[in-house]
Amino acid sequence: MQWQKISTVLLDMDGTLLDKYFDDYFWEEFLPQVYGKQNNLQEAEAQKVLYRRYRSVEKTLLWTDLNYWTEELDLDIIGLKKQIAHLISINPHVIDFLQFLQNQQKSIYLVTAAHPAALDIKMSKAGLSGYFQQMICADELGRPKEDVQFWNSLEERLGFERQRTLFADDNVNVLNAARSHGIRYLVHIAKPSSRQPARYCDEFTSVSAFDELIVPSADPITARRN
């Protein structure tokens, strides 16, 4: 990273800053168990029903809308997330990286697809909110992050310079949308979950953890000379 040329850093939350295991476990295992008990279904059958519903709203705001799923499934989704909030954890070297960005005097923003209620639960557990100038949910801008229009709206809101902005995410579709908008520095997180192997991507700078982006000196120009 040419840190001296970067002024704004945009960071995804789930799978980037936070271990995606929490969300994978919630939607793929815990929720099917609860839904199956409520509807007298075996867990495998409940998974099939829920996966079909998940796919029907993928890449839309409904996928992460906890109020939508509460109504659709007749379950207290927010309450259920709180039940397993102890599984929320920060990915390796995230705090080191955020402190590095602060030392470099970068503007730091959290840009997440998570529903505002999910953001509150996770930030209460992770304690990262103090690092960000703002935390923005896609729900606030009315578009999913995979939609290029989301990035137009985000730029209008934050006023960042595309050529001086870095964005990190574990979702290649979202990174492609950011690239279409013209954001110059794009980082793919290859290991979003502690329970899955790293899966690197050839299209973008791809790292398994944020320590790979931290230069050994607080002065990026000095670090480049060395």
- The pLDDT score that the predictor gives to residue 217 is 61
What pLDDT, in 10s, does the model give residues 9-51? 999 999 999 999 999 999 999 999 999 999 999 999 999 999 9
Exposed, middle or buried: residue 49 (CB in 10 Å: 0-12, 13-18, 19+)?
middle
- The pLDDT score that the predictor gives to residue 226 is 33
CA distance 14 to 26: 13
Confidence of residue 225 (pLDDT cuts 50, 70, 90): very low
> On the CB side of 37, how many CA atoms lie within 13 Å of its CA?
6
- The pLDDT score that the predictor gives to residue 216 is 76
CA distance 97 to 20: 18
CB contact burial 185-206 (16+ within 10 A = b; e otherwise): bbbbbbbbbeeeeeeeeeebeb
Q: Quick one: average pLDDT of 150-159? A: 97
- The pLDDT score that the predictor gives to residue 1 is 78
pTM (2 decimals)?
0.93
Is-contact 73 41, C-beta < 8 A?
no
- The pLDDT score that the predictor gives to residue 220 is 44
Q: Quick one: average pLDDT of 131-147? A: 97
Residues of the chain with CATH 3.40.50.1000: 3-19+89-225
Q: Quick one: average pLDDT of 52-61? A: 94
Considering the four listed CATH numbers 3.40.50.1000, 3.40.30.10, 3.40.47.10, 3.10.20.440, the one that applies to the domain covering 3-19+89-225 is: 3.40.50.1000
